[in-house]
Each structure stands twice: as C-alpha cells, then as structure tokens.
A and B are shown apart, each in its own frame.
Chain A
Amino acid sequence: AQKITQTQPGMFVQEKEAVTLDCTYDTSDQSYGLFWYKQPSSGEMIFLIYQGSYDEQNATEGRYSLNFQKARKSANLVISASQLGDSAMYFCAMRDTGYALNFGKGTSLLVTP
C-alpha cells in the first residue's frame, strides 16, 4: 500500500523568500508518479508539478521545483520568490497503479509581507 506523509501542518515564509514543503512517500511499486497541488481557500485543486519515478532530472515549472530524492523517498516542493498569492494548502500525492491519487494530509502555507 502507498503512503504519503507531510509532516508540516503549517509553514510561514516572508514574501520573496524561498520555502520548501516536505513530502515523503512509501511504495513497493517501481513505477510511480508524484504530484503537488495547491488548494486556495476557494477549494479548487490546482495542479503544480509532476515527477515520474524514472525521471532523472528534478521537475520544474516556473517558480516551482520538485526536489526528488528517490533513495530517501522524498519529493519536496520548493517555491522560489514567494508571493502573497501563494498562501494556500499544498498537497503532495502519489499515483497508484489504477491512476488514482493518494494524498498526504497537506501543509498550510502563509506568506507574510
């Protein structure tokens, strides 16, 4: 069975600083995918970034990058140059063999001026 762990219930960061949100996972599958989503207070789930288990390079999408350390089973999200609009819940998720997602508990990020 897959398990996703996000150990930071809440994080603070100052505007324009970088922040790392932690995610560790456990799976016996050789092929898997890891996702990060942003959920603002409106409730929508915004897809941020994807990392495949066989991808040799860390994924990047604009200000988002995924620090993938396969041996440590970690897939941390790095947000560079934080903006006030980045304040939201962030969820790490893993795709199972049926393509559905298993989610971590989430991290609440607050960006302060």
Chain B
Amino acid sequence: SAVISQKPSRDICQRGTSLTIQCQVDSQVTMMFWYRQQPGQSLTLIATANQGSEATYESGFVIDKFPISRPNLTFSTLTVSNMSPEDSSIYLCSVTTGTGGNEQYFGPGTRLTVT
C-alpha cells in the first residue's frame, strides 16, 4: 500500500489567482496521476505525472492551465492557474503500486472553491 498526503486540504481562492497543490507519497512510485472531481460528478483524469519528463495531459486539459511538476519519485505538484468558479472541485492525486498496477491509492483530496 501507499500513504499519500495532500496540501492544502481545502482552500477558497479568488478568481484569476493560482493555487499549487502538493502530493507526497511515503514510498517511491513510478506512476502518479492527478484527477478532478467536480461537484456531484465522478472523477476525471487530468494528467499522468512522469518523473523526469513532461506530464501527459488528457483531452480537455492543458499545461498552461494545469502545470504539473514531478521532481522525484515521491512528490508532485499540480497548479490550477487563472482560476474561475468552474475550477471549483476536489483535486486528487493517486499512485499505482503492486504487480501490474493492481493497487491504486488516492490522497485525501484538496477541496477548492473559487469565488
């Protein structure tokens, strides 16, 4: 298993500002992912964070809006840039462990409200 922490746990931000969310894992992992969960919705993958290379973004998500860093095998950050109320969501990081990715664990999430 893996223990994952996220900072901040929640925040209220002004429109037009940016917020950086941190994700820390208690062990080295190759695969880290960032998801967004809009109110009342399911989870949607934003990007795969690769250590030592650029993140891989899903359709509908761009690097200018959601820049990601992955400086080592235990840490990643997601920045939500130039925020609007539509960015109000829970942002979750997750990691894959186990053989063939049969274990996937999530951080506690960051609840973001944009006013």
Contact = CB atoms under 8 A, between A and B. Distances in A.
Interface of A: 33, 35, 37, 42-45, 47, 50, 52, 91, 93, 95, 98-106
A33 B108 contact: no
Given A37-B106, A47-B104, A93-B43, 10 more contacts: A33-B100, A43-B108, A44-B108, A45-B92, A45-B106, A47-B105, A98-B56, A100-B33, A101-B43, A101-B45
Contact of A103 (B43, B90, B111): B43
Contact of B42 (A98, A100, A104): A104
Contacts of B103: 47, 50
Contacts of B42: 91, 103-106
B51 interface: no
Chief secondary structure at chain B's binding surface: strand
Contacts of B102: 33, 50, 52
Interface in B89-115: 90, 92, 94, 96, 100-106, 108-109, 111
A33 B103 CA distance: 10
B73 to A, nearest CB: 15
B33 A91 contact: no
6 contacts: A44-B108, A45-B109, A52-B100, A99-B104, A101-B104, A103-B43
Nearest to A6: B42
B19 interface: no
B99 to A, nearest CB: 9
Contacts of B48: 98-100
Given A33-B101, A103-B42, A44 B106 contact: yes
A72 B37 CA distance: 29
A104 B79 CA distance: 26
Contact of A43 (B33, B101, B104, B111): B111
